[in-house]
């Protein structure tokens, strides 16, 4: 099954590594790339949650410049048109950290201005205002 040198045959670790390689799940990078390009952020999904999914897929895609593809996924897959628009204002100097900061800030701003129709991503529940008790203070 495996072609081993005389030295490799003497080392138990060699067999373990060959076995792990043999049983490892084979990733279909093309399928991962398809999923990445079609991935959309859910309406009430937080930026952090969306990015976590994107990072997993990007790793499977075997890209040589993963940060650029994560930025693209934020642009194409964001559920917030303001995030998309703001990210598209930048050129190739846009870093992943800056793109993430922009997306997070706009998510918070959108929650405060009700762009999410009462659903704030990452809040865990519906955004509600305090009931009016009739007392001014």
Domain count, the chain: 1
Per-residue pLDDT of the chain (137 residues; tens, 9 = 90+): 678 888 888 888 888 887 877 776 677 899 999 999 999 999 989 999 999 999 999 999 999 999 999 999 999 999 999 999 999 999 999 999 999 999 999 999 888 776 555 556 654 433 334 444 444 44
- 75 domain residue, yes or no: yes
Q: Which domain holds residue 48?
A: 29-112
- 100 domain residue, yes or no: yes
- 129 domain residue, yes or no: no
- 117 domain residue, yes or no: no
* C-alpha span between 137 and 133 (Å, rounded): 10
- 94 domain residue, yes or no: yes
Angle at 56 between CA 63 and CA 50, to 5 degrees: 115
CATH of the domain at 92: 1.10.1200
87 neighbors 75 (Cβ within 8 angstroms)? yes
DSSP 77-120: H-S-HHHHHHHHT--TT--HHHHHHHHHHHHHHHHHTTTTTTB-
pTM: 0.68
């Amino acid at each position: 099954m495996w072609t081993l040198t005389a030295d490799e045959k003497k080392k138990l670790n060699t067999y373990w590594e060959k076995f792990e390689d043999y049983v490892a799940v084979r990733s279909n990078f093309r399928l991962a790339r398809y999923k990445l390009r079609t991935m959309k952020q859910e309406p009430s999904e937080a930026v952090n949650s969306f990015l976590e999914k994107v990072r997993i897929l990007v790793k499977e895609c075997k890209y040589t410049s993963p940060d650029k593809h994560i930025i693209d996924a934020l642009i194409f897959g964001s559920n917030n048109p303001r995030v998309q628009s703001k990210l598209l204002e930048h050129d190739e100097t846009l870093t992943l950290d800056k793109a993430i900061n922009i997306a997070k800030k706009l998510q918070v701003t959108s929650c405060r201005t009700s762009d999410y129709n009462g659903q704030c991503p990452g809040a865990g529940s519906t955004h509600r205002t305090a009931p009016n008790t009739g007392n001014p203070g």
